Structure 1
């Protein structure tokens, strides 16, 4: 069994079949099929079920895939490091709020310290980033949500809070507060399911026996902000994103009586993944800086 076998195996899993994997790797299809056969012979277990000319990965294959991704990623990191490419590279996942408020400052500070290191950032909702961690698609992630799988460990690194927001003339803004009983009478403009913001809000409401159906769902926080400004409804969003809006008076933050919307920003990593020097250095910087590089949301 060689590194080549593992690279071919990962490609077959990613491409969903031998033919497409062969195209990606610029190999003949029989060579890819032979490599998979040799792997199965080496380990003495089937890695795929072959049904109706399609491949379905087996539980044994799933276990090998997780390790194969890590091994091939580490080999690539070794190549880049030995060839003098600084600390190599780091691929970070970030949820929207952190990507907007914190990540630009983190990346700027990191590149000043390690100018030879390549930083790649992927911004997605928290649920998608958790899936990417499980697939070894990113080194680690900074999110606002909670962890759903035991293979991922979470480290809180910063406090945050959600807040109800509405336009200045709204009754909530004029009175300076909202009650739980009044929430069901509003038109809600919310982030999509799977985002950390939406998950916390929905969970907090469920503890009070409430559930709200939004009239507007979006992956784009700024589109929600603009809709709230024009009076289409109200929302619950991270307070850190809206400091300029509050200062200008275009939006008003309103406490909801009896509802705790505090949360922690979390650093996520796969328990089995060995982090590169670049990833470890970036994590150390995040712990050091905390909220220091937070930028205004525009």
Structure 2
């Protein structure tokens, strides 16, 4: 066999980091050894895997085809090694859109600790678009996102439902107006998530058919910031119940009564179609499924 796991590991590092210099540092190798391994791999396959763009190495079509296959082989080899070691060696990289990462992932990690206490979990936060991109690049094991993913290389699994609600400060005039009309909501001051956010995409899909595009809206890059601003009377918003449930319980926020039918959205787990499903990742999927069953709203 011409190929070696070492060559594939170096190829993966270069692909993910963009240069032999960064890959060398990450792998604790000399740059000459890293470059030589890439040259050996390209020679064994008889193809070029990167385009040289200035000082950067950018995957070409050949490289993009090889990358998921190489990562799958490397992860399978790592799983074999760990099969003869303790579970303390298991590690997962889980990407989360911000709402899930801030409000649901801490609970999932608690359940994961009870089920597989030796598994180490690194949590990467970003909006849904960014997390889907990282899953497609195989830089994370799995992503938990609020909106549907449109990346063709990703497997998408629904795993939990979440309710979106329109909220205002307890002393906001709209909170005491009774059942709000479409006109009331159209004229309100809205605080909304930024473009690329799964929450923003889903809110628009739900509300725009009834209200049209925003007349008076400010974009805020954090659901936590939005709910604090709403409770301070800056405006109203539409957010996940997971985000606002605590302030509703303490009485500083209220769920508005309005004419628009209620809406639940589907949360999704996304991962590359060629992703190797390790035992720790199987356990994580089981934890998410059990969590969804226990918290069905």
Select 1:191's aligned residue among 193, 196, 200: 193
Deviations 1:134-188 (CA, angstroms, capped at 9, x unpaired): 1212222222211111222222222221111111233321123333333342222
Q: Which residue of 1 aligns with 2:206?
A: 204
- Give the direction of change, closer, same or farther, for the CA distance of 1:55–1:27 in structure 2 (3 Å limit): same
Q: Which residue of 2 aligns with 1:175?
A: 177
Q: TM-score, normalised by structure 1?
A: 0.87
Q: Which residue of 1 aligns with 2:21?
A: 19
Aligned positions, number: 294
Q: Does structure 1 residue 94 correspond to structure 2 residue 101?
A: no
- Which aligned runs of 4 or more in structure 1 are off by greater than 6 angstroms? none
Preserved contact between residue 186 and residue 211 of structure 2 (Cα < 8 Å)? no
Q: Which residue of 2 aligns with 1:285?
A: 287
* RMSD of equivalent CA atoms: 2.5
Residue 258 of structure 1, CA deviation: 3.4
Preserved contact between residue 87 and residue 118 of structure 2 (Cα < 8 Å)? yes
Q: TM-score, normalised by structure 2?
A: 0.87
Q: Distance in 2 between matches of 1:240 and 1:25?
A: 40
Larger CA deviation: 111-120 vs 211-220: 211-220
Select 1:145's aligned residue among 143, 147, 151: 147
Report the secondary structure of 1:194's partner residue.
coil
Q: Distance in 1 between matches of 2:27 and 2:161?
A: 45
Q: Distance in 1 between matches of 2:198 and 2:189?
A: 21
Preserved contact between residue 224 and residue 243 of structure 2 (Cα < 8 Å)? no
Select 2:49's aligned residue among 40, 47, 50: 47
Residue 253 of structure 1, CA deviation: 0.9
Preserved contact between residue 86 and residue 114 of structure 1 (Cα < 8 Å)? no
Larger CA deviation: 103-112 vs 212-221: 212-221
- Give the direction of change, closer, same or farther, for the CA distance of 1:248–1:26 in structure 2 (3 Å limit): closer
Preserved contact between residue 94 and residue 123 of structure 1 (Cα < 8 Å)? yes
Gaps of 5+ in 1: none
Larger CA deviation: 110-119 vs 205-214: 205-214
